[in-house]
Structures are given as structure tokens and as C-alpha cells.
Amino acid sequence: MAGTVLYVLATYALMVAAFYYARLRRFHVPVMIFIMTSDLLFPIYLVMTRDWYKRLIVDEDILTFGVWVHFMLLITLFVLYFVQILAGRRLLKGETGAEIRQEHRAQGMGILLVRAFVILTGALLVQPLDG
């Protein structure tokens, strides 16, 4: 298995722990900030370390269903991160209504589900590095 897949699986496990220990804000908030930032920077890492022009253009992988599913799941994940951050900021400002907590939790469950599918589709698209 590629190192990138192991990395995202480890961060996913950390994210699940942060989800279940959401009441421990000193743990939950920094972990979620780290994971969201890591996920936003991960495509930059991949572009810098992989030959994407050859893979997507020369090999015509850009036309495959798997690449587009993965791309759309990433967009969905980033949109969920954005609305999650908005809801989290409201909680940190002191809003204590049950509605905002339920909204934040439901978004968190959605993020866990979508991120699992992003990892799965990404793992299916992994090509080993030339050795």
C-alpha cells in the first residue's frame, strides 16, 4: 500500500477519535484544524510528487469515471468542511442551542462518510511510483 494511503488512513482514524471526543475541545478543535488543513494541502503535495500530466493527459485518465467521482467527492468534502467551520465557530462563540449542536454533529457524520469515500476512491486510483 502506498505511503499516502497509509497517511490518510491514519488521519481518518484520528478524525474518528476527534468526532467521538468532541466534548474535549482542547483535543477536538486542534485535531480537526490539522486534518482539514492537511486535506486542503494534500493535493498540492500530490501534484509536486507525481507526474499528473502524464497520468491525466497522456494516459487519458482524466476521462475515466473514477477520477471524476474522486474529484466530485473532494469538492463535496471541501464544501462540508466550510459549513462545518461556520457551525464550529458559532459553537466556539458561545451559541449553546441544541439546533446548532445537532447541525454540527450531522455535518461531522457527513464529513466522516464523504472522507471515507474520498479515501476509498483515492486508494483505487493509486499508481505505484516507478522504482
Whether pLDDT at 116 is above 80: yes
- Residue 58, phi-psi category: left (phi > 0), alpha (psi -120 to 50), beta (remainder): alpha
Q: Which amino acid is at 29?
A: V
In the structure, what pLDDT confidence band is assigned to residue 126 with cuts at 50, 70 and 90? confident
Q: What is the pLDDT of residues 48-97, one digit of tens each?
A: 887 777 778 888 777 888 889 999 999 999 999 999 999 999 999 988 88
Average pLDDT of span 21-35: 94
Q: CB-hemisphere CA count at 13 Å for 65?
A: 0
% pLDDT > 70, the chain: 96
